[in-house]
Amino acid sequence: MKVVVIGAVAAGPKTASKILRLRPDAEVTVLEKGEFVSFAGCGLPYYLSNVVKEQKELLSTPIGVPRDPAFFRKVKNVRVLIRTEALTIDRKSRQVEAKNLQTGESFSLPYDKLVLATGAQPIIPPISGINHKKVFTLHNIEDCEAIRSVLANGDKKAVIIGGGLIGVETAEALVRKDCSVTIVEMLPQILSVLDWEIARQVELHMRSKGVEIRTETKALAIEGTGDEIRCVTTDKGEIPADLVILGVGVRPNVSLAKEAGLEIGGTGAIRVNRRMQTSDLDIYAVGDCAESRHLVTGQPCYVPLGSTANKQGRVAALNICGLEDSFPGVLGSMVCQVFDFTVARTGLSEAQARDAGYDVVTCLVPGPDRAHYMPTAKPLMLKLITDRATGRLLGAQATGPGEAAKRMDVAATAITAAMTVDQVSKLDLSYAPPYSPAMDNLITASDVIRNKISGAMVGITPMELRNKPAESYFFLDVRSPGEVAKVALSGAVNIPLGALRDRVNEIPRDKEIIAFCQVSLRAYEAALILKANGFDRVKVLDGGVAMWPYERIFGKQ
């Protein structure tokens, strides 16, 4: 069996290696246009920042063996041809026309099965000056080395166009290299994969680390003379710059597939079935060039991730070798580091859930990530998205310095299993004070959702509150005077929870009452007290002071 694989970063090498484990008699050839194969693309920001010290660490096995063509030939029995570009696919004759970019030689490779692992390519916005030599993407090792070279020459004013994952991770890397960094983002928020409340917390944190963030701002031109950049011109003024990095996102690299007449999905990626077969059943597509299916909605989606690429490569290899396997889909799970915050999400965002037709119930629940009395405890801010009718967990998001990844992994498992928040709230999760509170953050958040669905608690989000006329509600702060002295929310009246029963007559009965505390647990208890005293319009501020995304009054006396 002759197999040709086009692309050698993640999915391609995985597919090739697995085929030869299953079929040692197979003849597998991998074509790679670039110089480097099987490199850790997700590690590039950490190499840029010097967290990863040497380039070779991105190219080696866990025991330090370089993953180069010689390694694949000797260890895997895979022939890898670098600096070799696949030009066309002749489906009728089952051949790939290719060219050696070093010698200029063209040649043909016959195949029984073909695997497209052509990946994705950076989106280049159509703005003036975009081709300047100090405008970069961060897509491969060559990009990273070019940026490192410019930084080594003393260029320190960096503008990042795009506030997605690439832009945010690159911003941290540049700050670690003593750069001044400005992110320019067209949308109202950075990290559009998140809901606004979580993205806003990340934005505030990045600002505290010195990153300037300009949302709802459009880059118009990159200005400079000769080899130097002077500034980035936006619709809201100029931003001084020595270098510019594009973090607008990526799109699937499907030109070969299109030219070969393969079906392209609505996402712009190659349409595949669960066996990773394209519309030509002898051609497979895996990784960032391939479409996926969302496990909640069942609809096609495009979520390019190295983890997905490796799983799809294994599925394709099994099927190529005559075994049965399928790739069910994805939840869009992701996690990234933003300075000392973790940012994570899985499943549907609130906006996606509403667009899919769900009657959505959400919660914002901050709290310590382990027993509060442990010196290692750190804050974690969590959001859950749930279907009101069924109680099914649809999505989860988290950020903060606390342990977010394991909560998202549990949530991803629960969403995959179509679990309800009632079921999640009773999960037998491991507990010890150094690792979690007795009631894990995910379980507490699930109980908050259950209270909302049952009517035991009525919540209001910061955004909803922001849009209400101030005279229409009474803003009740039930924290202690000492807490209020440190930080307060404008317009609030402080009646500590312990004094509320004795001072209930100070609260107007002709207005809606909105109660809050640090995390809104005491506010929930306050709401119950007020309801027992005949107040019928009481709401609890989701997230409390800990997740309040607007202005605060610090050091109030």
Pairing of strands 27-31, 79-81: parallel
How does pLDDT run across 320-357, given as a tens digit for each residue? 999 999 999 999 999 999 999 999 999 999 999 999 99
How does pLDDT run across 438-469, given as a tens digit for each residue? 999 999 999 999 999 999 999 999 999 999 99
Comparing CA positions, the residue from 127, 142, 157 lying closest to residue 48 is 142
How does pLDDT run across 510-519, given as a tens digit for each residue? 999 999 999 9
Average pLDDT value for the chain: 96
The continuous run of DSSP H or E covering 464 comes out as helix 462-466
The Cα 152–Cα 177 span in angstroms is 10
How does pLDDT run across 21-58, given as a tens digit for each residue? 999 999 999 999 999 999 999 999 999 999 999 999 99
The Cα 458–Cα 464 span in angstroms is 13
Beta bridge partners of 250: 122
Query: What is the model's pLDDT at position 157?
Result: 97
Query: What is the model's pLDDT at position 494?
Result: 97
Residues 6+ apart with CB under 8 A from 373: 433
Comparing CA positions, the residue from 476, 483, 480, 481 lying closest to residue 506 is 476
Q: What average pLDDT does range 262-284 have in this prediction?
A: 98
- The superfamily CATH assigns to domain 460-554 is Rhodanese-like domain (3.40.250.10)
Strands of the sheet containing 84-90, edge to edge, are 84-90, 95-100, 106-110
If pLDDT is split at 50, 70 and 90, which confidence band does 556 have? low
CATH code of the domain made up of 334-454: 3.50.50.60
The continuous run of DSSP H or E covering 48 comes out as helix 44-48
Q: How far is CA 63 from CA 14, 15, 17, 68, 205, in A?
A: 18, 21, 18, 14, 36
Residue 91: strand, helix, or coil = coil
Per the annotation, the verdict on 231 as an active-site residue is no
Angle 340-50-201 from CA coordinates, rounded to 5°: 20
Query: What is the model's pLDDT at position 222?
Result: 97
How many other CB atoms are found less than 10 A from the CB of residue 196?
A: 19
Classify residue 33 as left (phi > 0), alpha (psi -120 to 50) or beta: alpha
Read off the tokens for 58: 């991105």
User: Which CATH topology does 2-40+49-119+251-320 take?
Assistant: FAD/NAD(P)-binding domain (3.50.50)
Query: What is the model's pLDDT at position 554?
Result: 85
How does pLDDT run across 466-483, given as a tens digit for each residue? 999 999 999 999 999 999
Pairing of strands 113-116, 2-6: parallel
Class of domain 135-248 (CATH, top level): alpha beta
The continuous run of DSSP H or E covering 554 comes out as strand 553-554
Q: Which long-range contacts (CB under 8 A, 24 or more apart) does 482-485 make?
A: 483/518, 483/545, 484/556, 485/555, 485/556, 485/557
Q: Do 8 and 140 touch, CB atoms closer than 8 A? A: no
Query: What is the model's pLDDT at position 553?
Result: 87
Q: How far is CA 104 from CA 81, 97, 479, in A?
A: 14, 13, 73
Q: Which sequence spans correspond to the domains of the chain?
A: 2-40+49-119+251-320, 135-248, 334-454, 460-554
How does pLDDT run across 49-102, given as a tens digit for each residue? 999 999 999 999 999 999 999 999 999 999 999 999 999 999 999 999 999 999
Query: What is the model's pLDDT at position 557?
Result: 41
The Cα 226–Cα 211 span in angstroms is 28
Classify residue 547 as left (phi > 0), alpha (psi -120 to 50) or beta: alpha
Q: What is the pTM of this model?
A: 0.94
How does pLDDT run across 187-240, given as a tens digit for each residue? 999 999 999 999 999 999 999 999 999 999 999 999 998 999 999 999 999 999
Same fold, 334-454 and 460-554: no
Angle 66-72-76 from CA coordinates, rounded to 5°: 125
Of 42, 144, 179, 301, which is the active-site residue? 42
Q: What is the largest CA-CA distance in the chain?
A: 89
